[in-house]
């Protein structure tokens, strides 16, 4: 190799990687993240300028809310500024959810507290402006944007949190899947369109049931999610039969019937009755 060409390549490589380092597409917050000013993430015409301070109730002048501030640009023109509150963890990232060539801005924040709660906001460029879409607040990690069917688009894979604590403790619950497509600037429930994913999760539920029975753990919360998951697959009767053969008859968790104001107005006689009522109320069965 010509020495001059080799030297040029030698110096070009670190410059190439240095340029890529500036094109970060995510900013992650952890429990040990210090204050940050003007951190930039960018992708194509989308750029976000981020400032963050960890929340503290002990340190003077430290924020107790609105500790995540961000300004969103399109083609270097400021279009929207917003603030959020996050404890311990969080993330600002750029992902092209619908594969239209322009990334969406995702802002994930955490409320703190046991098992709770992750909120996800989506900012999408539509008709020459950013539209803010609230993906909801959910227990734990909230959900993930993943390409379930390898079509280049990202689905929001999450869970039906109405099943948490319903028939078991949080740890003993296994909620069924919720899947959303991002279409035309909004999230659309397309759960039943992904049977392969649903079946994979149903198998994990079954394995969790077997393990919990072996260890004499809670099982009704797992069975509730499993029956709902099988209903999503069009296999409700199969799931129901397995539930009838395995449910814990000694547990009365989740039998109370409430009115719209949260007042107890009755009681289901057993777990199958309580589960069927919830499946009907949430649209899994008719």
Let me know whether 138 and 150 are in one domain.
no
Let me know whether 138 and 180 are in one domain.
no
Let me know whether 169 and 192 are in one domain.
yes
**Pick from 78, 109, 142: which residue ends a domain?**
142
Q: How far apart are CA 55 and CA 67, in angstroms?
A: 7
Nearest by Cα to 181 from 201, 200, 153: 153
pLDDT of residue 20: 42
Let me know whether 124 and 184 are in one domain.
no
Nearest by Cα to 220 from 144, 166, 264: 166
Let me know whether 260 and 274 are in one domain.
yes
Let me know whether 92 and 150 are in one domain.
no
pLDDT of residue 13: 41
pLDDT of residue 57: 87
Q: Residue 101 sits in a domain of what CATH number?
A: 2.40.128
Supply the pTM of this predicted model.
0.87
Let me know whether 234 and 202 are in one domain.
yes
- From first to last of its 286 residues, the chain has per-residue pLDDT tens of 444 434 343 334 444 444 444 569 999 999 999 999 999 999 999 999 999 999 988 888 888 899 999 999 999 999 999 999 999 999 999 999 999 999 999 999 999 877 789 999 999 999 999 999 999 998 877 899 999 999 999 999 999 999 999 999 999 999 999 999 999 999 999 999 999 999 999 999 999 999 999 999 999 999 999 999 999 999 999 999 999 999 999 999 999 999 999 999 999 999 999 999 999 999 999 9
pLDDT of residue 23: 65
Q: Identify the domain containing residue 223 by its residue range.
A: 146-286
**Pick from 105, 126, 142: which residue ends a domain?**
142
Q: How far apart are CA 67 and CA 141, in angstroms?
A: 20
Let me know whether 43 and 62 are in one domain.
yes
pLDDT of residue 140: 76
Place of tokens 């194509």: 44
Let me know whether 168 and 285 are in one domain.
yes
Let me know whether 124 and 181 are in one domain.
no
**Pick from 142, 161, 192: which residue ends a domain?**
142
pLDDT of residue 99: 97
**Secondary structure in 3-state letters for 164-201:** CCCCCCCCCCCCCEEEEEEECCEEEECHHHCHHHHHHH
pLDDT of residue 11: 38
Let me know whether 29 and 102 are in one domain.
yes
Let me know whether 119 and 210 are in one domain.
no
Q: How many domains does the chain have?
A: 2
pLDDT of residue 233: 99
């Amino acid at each position: 190799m010509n020495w001059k060409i080799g030297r040029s390549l030698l110096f070009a490589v670190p410059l190439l990687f240095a340029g890529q380092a500036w094109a970060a597409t995510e900013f992650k917050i952890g429990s040990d993240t210090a204050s940050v000013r003007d951190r930039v993430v960018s992708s194509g015409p989308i750029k976000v300028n981020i400032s963050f301070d960890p929340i503290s109730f002990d340190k003077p002048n430290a924020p107790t809310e609105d500790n995540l501030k961000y300004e969103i640009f399109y083609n270097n023109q400021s279009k929207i500024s917003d603030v959020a509150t996050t404890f311990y963890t969080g993330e600002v990232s750029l992902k092209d959810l619908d594969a239209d060539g322009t990334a969406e801005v995702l802002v994930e924040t955490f409320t703190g507290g046991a098992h709770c709660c992750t909120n996800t906001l989506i900012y999408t460029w539509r008709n020459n402006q950013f539209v803010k879409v609230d993906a909801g607040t959910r227990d734990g990690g909230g959900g993930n944007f993943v390409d379930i069917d390898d079509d280049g688009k990202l689905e929001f894979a999450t869970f039906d949190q109405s099943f948490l604590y319903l028939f078991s403790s949080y740890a003993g619950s296994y909620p069924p899947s919720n899947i959303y497509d991002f279409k035309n600037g909004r999230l659309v429930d397309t759960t039943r369109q992904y049977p392969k994913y649903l079946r994979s999760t149903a198998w994990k539920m079954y394995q969790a049931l077997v393990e919990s029975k072996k260890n004499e753990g809670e099982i009704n919360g797992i069975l509730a999610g499993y029956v709902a998951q099988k209903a999503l697959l069009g296999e409700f009767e199969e799931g129901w039969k397995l539930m009838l053969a395995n449910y814990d008859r000694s547990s009365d968790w989740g039998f109370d019937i409430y009115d719209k104001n949260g007042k107890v107005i009755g009681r289901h006689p057993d777990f199958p009755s309580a589960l069927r009522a919830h499946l009907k109320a949430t649209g899994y069965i008719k």
